[in-house]
Amino acid sequence: MLPIAKLYFVNAIPVKVGINKEGVIIGRWRGGGEEHMAALNKMLQQLFME
Tens place of pLDDT per residue across the chain (50 aa): 567 778 777 777 787 888 888 888 888 887 778 888 888 888 888 888 86
The pTM assigned to this predicted structure is: 0.56
Question: How many Å apart are CA 39 and CA 33, to the nearest integer?
Answer: 10
Q: Cα(24)–Cα(8) distance, rounded to whole angstroms?
A: 9
Q: What is the DSSP string of the chain?
A: --HHHHHTT--SSSEEEEE-TTS-EEEEEES-SHHHHHHHHHHHHHHHH-
